[in-house]
């Protein structure tokens, strides 16, 4: 990365400082915790989502890949956007396998936070199942409409077949600590292919 065109060698300083600060004892300890955390998440979610690339013992390394491809009516992107309503930035989406989420909890996450994430994913699994079975509308549901902004939830018009509570406060912890996405669903592919800059033009700085 640092040797690539327009790359920056300064990125090497970050990893060097991290290694130096962790030291001989801290680095392997952090590695053990990262592997433990990833396997904890994998075991808690294995009954709800297939886990890819497990070893002979059924364990994963420092990350676990949740396979969402088998669910009808819901995409991995829907799940990624819905996680925002639960207060989470989505894990890596569709890499290294399309239609998956790659969860890397690292060594810094507490068990309480891991449990909160797992509970969110289990709840989302319930929503995915409801869409698949037809209990929820296949096009107008919390997953397809996620994330839900404060403006959308508090607006006068609400033409969705689920409650505002379900949209914005799907889990108990969101009532105490709510993250409000600034925008709703966007066209990711269009944004990737078309540079749209909202900053003032260069001429305004002269």
Q: Residue 160 is encoded by which pair of tokens?
A: 């969705």
Place of tokens 């669910």: 71
Whether 159 shows a pLDDT value over 70: the answer reads: yes
* Band of residue 2 on the pLDDT scale cut at 50, 70, 90: low
Place of tokens 């869409």: 131
Per cent of the chain over pLDDT 70 is 99
**CATH fold of the domain at 12-185:** 3.90.1150
Whether 6 shows a pLDDT value over 60: the answer reads: yes
Residue 86 buriedness (CB in 10 A; 0-12 / 13-18 / 19+): buried
Q: In the chain, where does DSSP find H-type helix?
A: 10-45, 76-85, 111-133, 142-145, 150-154, 164-168, 188-193
For residue range 25-75, list pLDDT tens digits in order.
999 999 999 999 999 999 999 999 999 999 999 999 999 999 999 999 999
* Band of residue 167 on the pLDDT scale cut at 50, 70, 90: very high
Domain spans in the chain, listed from the N-terminal domain onward? 12-185
| CA-wise closest residue to 112 among 177, 66, 54 | 177
Q: What is the pTM of this model?
A: 0.88
φ/ψ bin of 173: left (φ > 0), alpha (ψ from -120 to 50), beta (otherwise): alpha
Q: Compute the distance between CA of residue 8 and CA of residue 85 in angstroms, rounded to an integer.
A: 35
């Amino acid at each position: 990365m640092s040797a690539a065109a327009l790359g920056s060698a300064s990125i090497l300083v970050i990893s060097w400082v991290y290694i130096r600060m962790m030291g001989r004892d801290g680095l392997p300890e952090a590695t053990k915790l990262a592997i433990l955390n990833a396997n904890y998440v994998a075991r808690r979610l294995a009954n709800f989502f297939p886990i890819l690339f497990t070893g002979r013992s059924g364990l994963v390394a420092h990350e676990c890949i949740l396979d969402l491809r088998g669910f009808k009516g819901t995409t991995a992107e829907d799940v990624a956007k819905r996680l925002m309503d639960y207060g989470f930035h989505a894990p890596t989406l569709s890499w290294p396998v399309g239609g998956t989420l790659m969860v890397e909890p690292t060594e810094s996450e507490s068990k309480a936070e891991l449990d909160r994430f797992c509970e969110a994913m289990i709840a989302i699994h319930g929503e995915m199942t409801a869409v698949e079975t037809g209990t929820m509308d296949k096009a107008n549901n919390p997953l397809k409409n996620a994330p839900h902004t404060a403006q959308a939830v508090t607006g006068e018009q609400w033409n969705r077949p689920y409650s505002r509570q379900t949209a914005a406060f799907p889990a108990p912890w969101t009532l105490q600590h709510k993250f409000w996405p600034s925008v709703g669903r966007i066209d990711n592919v269009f944004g990737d292919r078309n540079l749209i800059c909202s900053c003032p033009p260069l001429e305004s700085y002269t």
